Amino acid sequence: MTMTDSTTSHTETDGSEPNNSETTDEANTQTVLKTDGLSKSFGAIDAVIDVDLEINRGEILAIAGDNGAGKSTYVKMLSGVLTPTAGQIYVRSDDRLVERSFTSSKDAEKAGIATVYQGQHLTPTNDAATNIFLGHEPSKPGLRGSLLREIDKARMVEESNQLLEEIGFDFDPESPVEELSGGQQQAVAVARALIRDPPTIILDEPTSEVSTTGTDKIIDLVRRIPEEGKAGILISHKIDIVVDIADRIAIMRDGKLIDVLKNTSDVERIDIVSRMHKEREL
Ligand SMILES: Nc1ncnc2c1ncn2[C@@H]1O[C@H](COP(=O)(O)OP(=O)(O)OP(=O)(O)O)[C@@H](O)[C@H]1O
Ligand SMILES: [Mg+2]
């Protein structure tokens, strides 16, 4: 079908062409992140199989697929939570794509990839502001900051407040996370990714715990990611949202990347859903 994007095939990297292990010549200078043959097995379970995919600045790439298709496992490799069993991850650094292997999520964040995880692990007893700024705490001005490394909590609270307001939420950033609703916790997770101002933001089911109005707010925010030249990777079971905001839709089934659809006006949710389930319907 014409809507199938040709870049999904494995033909580019199959075969025995020489492969520079450090960098890759990439015709598309917009590509910020790219995987070649990325795979992950858990014992006998092949959760992600040989995924070739690139993510470009200024786009929202959605990853759709059934429960267990491998979506979270794939992005966890991009965000340093899981180590790939095989394959490569390339991240743009200046004018080149450089091969990276992440040993932690902090490592991936340093490379410019921030993630909002499905079932985000926030520290429940800490307050929202502390969770949002974790690892990025501003120091107090003057010697107390530079010499004593005292954290500027007031600024954290103020900036958290601003950010939460910007994404449409209104609760006290000094509330412990365990006392917040699921949707408010999700907002903390989204704010946590945004405060890092990364070139690539991954959101794995960012609206799963959120009310309809909260969902609209978070979706508005995701929609704005490309405006600043950033790239967004969105995993969502809500196909209407995916069709509404994604530029391209990658479809995974049983660990494999099945298709990448350019999201033009003729893509319909039925196209996506049928590709997600094809084999089971036969
Ligand atoms: N830590 C793990 N150990 C063993 N198997 C795992 C682990 N994490 C995921 N899996 C398996 O890998 C496969 C892919 O899971 P994954 O969580 O990536 O799916 P998903 O597409 O994100 O699904 P969902 O839409 O339900 O979130 C599943 O079969 C799952 O059971
Ligand atoms: Mg998942």
Q: Are 68 and 44 in contact (CB under 8 A)?
A: no
Per-residue model confidence as pLDDT tens digits over 31-63: 999 999 999 999 999 999 999 999 999 999 999
Please tell me the number of the ligand nearest to residue 63's CA: 1
**Rounded to the nearest whole angstrom, what is the distance from the C-alpha of residue 73 to the centroid of ligand 2?**
7
Distance 119 CA to ligand 2 centre (A): 9
Mean pLDDT for the stretch of residues 201-220: 85
Backbone Cα Rg of the chain = 20
- Sorted by where each starts, the structural domains of the chain and their CATH numbers stand as 5-121+199-215+223-277 (3.40.50.300)
The percentage of the chain sitting over the pLDDT mark of 70, rounded to a whole number, equals 88
For residue 248, the model assigns a pLDDT of: 96
Nearest atom, ligand 1, residue 82 CA = 1
Question: Atom of ligand 1 at shortest distance to CA of 252?
Answer: 21
CB atoms within 10 A of CB 197: 12
- Nearest Cα residue to atom 29 of ligand 1: 68
pLDDT band for position 280 (50/70/90)?
A: low
Cα–ligand 2 centroid distance for 114 (angstroms): 17
Q: What does the pLDDT read at residue 23? A: 57
CA distance linking residue 7 with residue 13, whole number of Å: 11
CB of 73 closer than 6 A to ligand 1?
yes
**Per-residue pLDDT reduced to its tens digit, 118-164:** 667 789 999 999 999 998 899 998 888 888 889 999 999 999 999 89
The pair of structure tokens assigned to 104 is 């932690």
Instruction: Quote the pLDDT of residue 66.
Output: 93
Residue length of the chain? 282
**Nearest atom, ligand 1, residue 66 CA:** 25
The whole-number pLDDT of residue 39 equals 98
